[in-house]
Structure 1
Amino acid sequence: MGSQEVSTADWQGKHVTVAGLGVSGIPAARALHERGALVTVVNDGDDERARAQAAELEALGITVRLGDGATLPPSTELVVTAPGWQPDKPLFLAAAEAGVDIWGDVELAWRLRGTNGRQAAPWLAVTGTNGKTTTVRMLASILQAAGLRTAAVGNIGVSLLDAVLGETEYDVLAVELSSYQLHWAPSLRAHSAAVLNLAPDHLDWHGSMEAYAADKGRVYEGNTVACVYNAADPATEELVREADVEEGCRAIGFTLGAPGPSQLGVVDGILVDRAFVKNRQKQAQELAEVSDVNPPAPHNIANALAAAALARAFGVEPAAVRDGLRNFRPDAHRIEHVADIDGVAYVDDSKATNTHATEASLAAYDSIVWIAGGLAKGATFDELVTGAAKRLRGVVLMGADRALIHEALTRHAPEVPVVDLDRTDTGAMSEAVEHAARLARPGDTVLLAPACASMDMFTNYIKRGEAFADAVRARAEESA
């Protein structure tokens, strides 16, 4: 099973354990079963939803064990895992001890591409702590503008297995990959890949920052054309240096400043390319204007440059980069402008669930009333507050770990007024918006950028963002 592409015959009678029901486990189980594998699905949960999913798989002849994701079924020859399962789970320790390979859904998709009689599409891969989804969707928009058949897949949109095994024949795939997915994808070899940035995140899963960075760096392994890195984040360039790539593969940087040779950057409001031009020592190619990027916040311009670099590595013409960026519309709850009320802008960046994302969000505005708080996931906030202190008109805090942010504000921005909402019910958002409106002055931005996860108060960041937007719109109606 070591080859990059696996024929259907290789799966006949092979005992495969799929770890986890859900968006990756169910397609994996189906695909393997269709190829003749003897599939057993194990799942920790045993709730009503899991039982319904299990019934559908069992009707196909797939074995499902609910409430027992820890024990390795006998005769297992391969484990295929959902990306979120931690590497220290007993199931994986038992597999490693038995010499059984462990693949993630990305690894399985990589191995199965090209086995349905269709040409295997090359992958342009994106990872990083923040900005992955936006960059991949920008990249897909650019590729579509170039007339290429493509899709944004992986950690978003269409599942990778569906993309590589479905009826649609793609020219190229724009692939978002999380650190979890990369951890379980040892043989992945992308055409070109980008690491957007690196900041502490998911350290409880990976065990250390070094292990987290190493898993992110796997995206560069075996790249054939370009390894795209962030010139403002030396750790990403270091991962390129450490990667074992194909002969001739180039390191391509992106920067918000003027680019050097083999970089993309910004000059006088223009996104320019000094990497994929004939004479990169002396020439630069105009790609788009900063105003073509929506929204033109600094970190989003960086996302656009990374997407442009991957597209250019694939041979896309400059006009398609411009058109693709113009056509792109960001997802909800990512620096989403909700309304202007009495000269104050209200912006929803509920997706800023960690300090690194929030730092980028705060840097996009000059004078801010900041709504923050939630589950800190072990984060500290001193560096974030220090960097943003001069921009803060005021702060409204809510959620379980708001005290950690309050303490950082007391240490590093004692002059900034803080409203501390001692409640964690969902209705707190309306009160937070009311307090923020009182603190704001014309020209300010009220910014929901929580720097924390949402699950203490909301189902997810989407519900949190929707609560903010509802509260803002209600206020807009009152002031109309």
Structure 2
Amino acid sequence: MERRSRSHLHGRHRLAGARQRPGCAGPGHQHPVPAAHHRRPVRHRDVVGDHPGRLVPGLPPPGLPHGASSPPFRAERLAGDHGHHPLVDPVGTVHRARAGAVLRGCRQHRHRRLDLEAHTVRGTSTGATAEATAEVPPSLLLAGFGATNRAVARALLSRGHTVTAFDDGPDAATIAEAEALGLELQIAPDDRRLRQLVRAADAMIPTPGLPENHRALAAVLDGGVPTASEFDLARIWDSRPIAAVTGTSGKTTVTEMAVAALRCSGLEAVAAGNNDLPLVAAIEQTGADVFVVEASSFRLAHSLRFEPRAACWLNFAPDHLDIHRDLASYETSKARLWRWLPPGATAVANRLDPTVMAHLPEDRAAWTFAQQGPADWWCRAGMLTGPSGPVLSVRELRRAMPHDLANALAAAATATAIGATTEGLGQALRSFEPGSHRVELVASIGGVSFYDDSKATTPHATVAALRGFETAVLIAGGRNKGLDLRGLLDAVDCVSSVVAFGEAADEVAEVFAADRPVQVAADMGEAVELAASAAEPGSAVLLSPACASFDLYPSYEARGEDFARLVRDLADRSRCGTVPS
């Protein structure tokens, strides 16, 4: 079946002959043909290799069948080539261990089954028994060895799996951690070595943020090897309920709010995912009742099956186009949040976002939220209100900018869907303080308030922040993530002037040049000085870059801390500044 049609089809010596030794069943051959050593000619379709006589030699027992019986359309003599095998067998090669011309064009069956996609009937936490139809395969390849995949490696190794990892540019600490785990980290393997690593694995787990055009993803596609994420591993290993939050902006804040609401409702909730605690590490906490997962598009894109009990999609806008192939791919990744919602799960959706609403599942329970209703969760007569009635007054929130209200409604809906009480919601939202670098007041100098919103790395996030101000001097720039910065003009009415900095300074300047005064700064220090000079008393200076930090800083946190330090220095010099305690 594997040899192309040509002369000398049956062997090298111009004589018809059996492909196996006399009486030996070849691997995978369901009907092996015995043949004599002396290579006498065999009449077409005969099954014996000796002279005709009074006795017919007995046939050896056939090997175990490799699949179903031949389909009925293979009637006798319909096929004139070789027997009637129902399958093209990838095992029984004729001369050496390789696939022939036919099989090279087919996707071959892998002998080590991958059961990650199977539905888990009942999972387990660490130390408990499990009854599940899903299992993690024996050998996994980790593409990239960042924080998440390091946690994945520890979890897999502790459970007896074989782990191989590669990284295109690890630092010394990453290499040392791999050595401590007993792994030989493959550093920037060439294409040949990468294909070998892929072929030896049952599945590959890409590091979150691996570009979709990375050669490792092409290699697994060519090799028929599936990709998975830490979410798949956690689903198989643990059965405790999960609430998931995704969106272009606001994920971290809503996740933290939901955790606070669940804790105030008497549940031990743990935040995990796209933060400092990967989900595979969080499930080691045996005291947790529920996990609230910040679900990035990177993790969702490679998840085989993600089954949260509550799943909130906050908003959608262009982002991460330096990672995803295009905007459609980014949208598809986000939509996977709701793809496998189990029966009884609840989808939570932003009613004002048309992209989000277009993906809302029709066969699952759903709640919508919007600052301005009607919606299931909305602000009604100055009250945050849910399906069961008012939760608390807007005036009771520590901060009530438009995006703060949307975040509070989303968190309340998500937490309620997985067990939070109305009393717990009210207690948590009254005391909630937004995290650092999220429109955080740094100081007031001469009647001008300085805010650090360094976490805003997209135009969508910057626009949301600007809409909380009547007027502000905007400091924006950094490394563009492949996004159209013209979206910043959606909040141009809130901008008095602009200071641009970083790699994208010229792009930012071009966006605002026709509408607002623009100055370009060489670094953050000059940006703070220029913005302070341009701001009028009663207004604000807002660092909300709309870009990543990696041109000048290792993280958005480092960028925000540098801004805050420079503002505090300015306050000390001015002798009229106040810094919050």
Q: How high is the TM-score relative to the length of structure 2?
A: 0.73
- Of residues 378, 384, 407, the one that matches 2:482 is 378
TM alignment of 1:360-371, pairs within 5 A? 360-371=464-475
Cα offsets for 1:232-277 (capped at 9, x unmatched): 1111011114x7x5xxx322111111334xx100023210013xx3
Cα distance, 1:64–1:50 mapped onto 2, change above 3 Å? same
The answer for the alignment partner of 2:579 in structure 1 is none
Unaligned runs of 5+ in 2: 1-114, 124-129, 576-581
Per the alignment, in what secondary structure is the counterpart of residue 390 of structure 1? helix
The answer for the alignment partner of 1:124 in structure 2 is 243
- Whether 1:140 and 2:259 are equivalent positions in the alignment is yes
Aligned partners of 2:475 and 2:541 also within 8 Å? yes
How far, CA to CA, are the matches of 2:496 and 2:355 in structure 1?
33
Aligned partners of 2:398 and 2:431 also within 8 Å? no
Per the alignment, in what secondary structure is the counterpart of residue 287 of structure 1? strand
How far, CA to CA, are the matches of 1:315 and 1:23 in structure 2?
30
TM alignment of 1:11-410, pairs within 5 A? 14-58=138-182, 62-68=183-189, 71-72=194-195, 73=197, 74-113=199-238, 120-164=239-283, 166-223=284-341, 224-241=344-361, 245=363, 249-260=364-375, 263-274=376-387, 277=388, 285-385=389-489, 387-410=490-513
- Higher mean alpha-carbon deviation, 173-182 vs 8-17, is at 8-17
Aligned partners of 2:503 and 2:551 also within 8 Å? yes
User: Counterpart of 2:372 in structure 1: which amino acid?
Assistant: G
Unaligned runs of 5+ in 1: 114-119, 278-284
- Of residues 453, 459, 470, the one that matches 2:565 is 470
Cα distance, 1:471–1:54 mapped onto 2, change above 3 Å? same
C-alpha root-mean-square deviation of aligned residues, in Å? 2.1
The structure with the larger Rg is: 2
Aligned partners of 2:175 and 2:185 also within 8 Å? no
How far, CA to CA, are the matches of 1:157 and 1:47 in structure 2?
18
Per the alignment, in what secondary structure is the counterpart of residue 228 of structure 2? strand
How far, CA to CA, are the matches of 2:324 and 2:529 in structure 1?
40
CA displacement at 1:12 relative to structure 2: 9.3
CA displacement at 1:372 relative to structure 2: 1.1
Aligned partners of 1:13 and 1:38 also within 8 Å? no
Cα offsets for 1:210-247 (capped at 9, x unmatched): 22111101111232332111111111011114x7x5xx
Q: How high is the TM-score relative to the length of structure 1?
A: 0.88
How far, CA to CA, are the matches of 1:13 and 1:144 in structure 2?
35
User: Counterpart of 1:447 in structure 2: which amino acid?
Assistant: L
% identical equivalent positions: 35
How far, CA to CA, are the matches of 2:205 and 2:546 in structure 1?
33
How far, CA to CA, are the matches of 1:234 and 1:65 in structure 2?
44
How far, CA to CA, are the matches of 2:420 and 2:460 in structure 1?
31
CA displacement at 1:302 relative to structure 2: 0.6
How far, CA to CA, are the matches of 1:12 and 1:138 in structure 2?
33
Cα distance, 1:191–1:371 mapped onto 2, change above 3 Å? same
Per the alignment, in what secondary structure is the counterpart of residue 306 of structure 1? helix
Cα distance, 1:13–1:429 mapped onto 2, change above 3 Å? closer
Per the alignment, in what secondary structure is the counterpart of residue 430 of structure 2? helix
How far, CA to CA, are the matches of 1:340 and 1:466 in structure 2?
16
User: Counterpart of 2:411 in structure 1: which amino acid?
Assistant: A
Count matched residues.
445
Aligned partners of 1:380 and 1:404 also within 8 Å? no
Cα distance, 1:381–1:43 mapped onto 2, change above 3 Å? closer
